[in-house]
Amino acid sequence: MSKKQKEKSSVSQDELDSKKEHAEKRYLVSTFFVALLIGLAYQEMVAPVRETVRASGVTFSTFALVAIFFFVSVRFFIGNQLHLLSGGLAKLPGLVWLYDLMVIIIQCVVLVFMGGDSTVTQNQNAAIDFVDLLVTLYVIDVIWIISQWILGKIIPKWKRGFLPWGWGALNAVLVIFVFALKFIVGDIYSTTGLAWLLGLNFIAFLVDVVLVDYYDAI
C-alpha cells in the first residue's frame, strides 16, 4: 500500500470513528429524554387511576382511557425512538436531528399531560381534556411531517430521502374521525364514545406498528 493510500485509509477511518461517536451521542441523548418523559407520563397516569379504582372499582371508562393511553404512547414511543436512531436521519446535518428531537420532546410532554387525564373524573369540567390533548398530539405529528417536506424544499441539505407520509395520513384520518365521533355521539366520554375511541386507536396501533412498521421493529 502506497503512502497516499495509507493516508486516505487513515482519513476514512477517522471519519467513520467520528460518525460512530456522533451516533452514540445521539443515541444517549434521545434515549434519555424520550424514555424519561414516557416514564413520567405513565407515572402521571398511575395516581388518578389508582384513586378512581379505589373509589369505584375498574369501570369500562377507566379501562378504555388507560388502554387508549397505552396504545397511543407505545405507538409514538416506538416510532419516534426508531426515527431518531435511523440511518437516514444520521446522514443528515445535526440540526435536522435536533429539530426532530425538539418536536418529539413536545409530543412526549403532551403524553405526560394525557397521562394525568386518564380518568373520566379528571376530565370533568376540564378546559383541555384527554381527547383535546389526543387530537393535539395527532396534529403536531401531521404538521411535523409536512414541515419535513417543506424544509427539505427550502434548505437542500435538509432534504430527506424518506418521509413518513403514512404516519401523517394515519393521524390526519384519526383527527377527522375523532371530530366526527364527537359530533355524532355528543359525549365522547360516554360508554359508546369511549368504545369507538378505543377501537380507533387500537386499529391505528396495529396499522402503524404491525402493518406500516417503517423501521422493521416487528
Q: Which pLDDT score, from 0 to 100, does residue 11 have? A: 45
Beta-carbon contacts of 16 under 8 Å, excluding residues fewer than 6 positions away, are: none
Q: What cell was used for 21?
A: 461517536
Q: Which pLDDT score, from 0 to 100, does residue 15 have? A: 60
Q: Which pLDDT score, from 0 to 100, does residue 85 have? A: 83
Q: Is the pLDDT of residue 178 over 90?
A: yes
Domain-embedded: residue 217: no
The range of the structural domain enclosing residue 68 comes to 13-212
Q: What integer best gives the mean pLDDT of the chain?
A: 87
pTM over 0.85: yes
Q: Which pLDDT score, from 0 to 100, does residue 41 have? A: 93
Q: Which of 6-10, 80-84, 96-100 has the lowest mean pLDDT?
A: 6-10
Q: Which pLDDT score, from 0 to 100, does residue 99 have? A: 93
Beta-carbon contacts of 140 under 8 Å, excluding residues fewer than 6 positions away, are: 103, 106, 107, 110
What DSSP designation does 217 have? -
Domain-embedded: residue 159: yes
Q: Is the pLDDT of residue 217 over 80?
A: no
Domain-embedded: residue 36: yes
Which residue did the predictor score with more confidence, 51 or 31? 51
Q: Is the pLDDT of residue 147 over 70?
A: yes
**Mean pLDDT for the stretch of residues 60-74:** 94
* Residue bearing cell 379528571: 122
78-90 pLDDT per residue, tens? 888 888 888 788 7
- Total domains present in the chain: 1
Provide the Cα torsion 85, 88, 91, 97; round to 10°.
Answer: -50
Confidence of residue 63 (pLDDT cuts 50, 70, 90): very high
Per-state percent for the chain, helix, strand, coil, to nearest 5: 85, 0, 15
Q: Is the pLDDT of residue 113 over 60?
A: yes
Q: Which pLDDT score, from 0 to 100, does residue 7 have? A: 47
Domain-embedded: residue 168: yes
Confidence of residue 17 (pLDDT cuts 50, 70, 90): low
Q: Which pLDDT score, from 0 to 100, does residue 28 have? A: 81
Domain-embedded: residue 87: yes
Domain-embedded: residue 5: no
Domain-embedded: residue 202: yes
**Mean pLDDT for the stretch of residues 142-146:** 96
Domain-embedded: residue 8: no
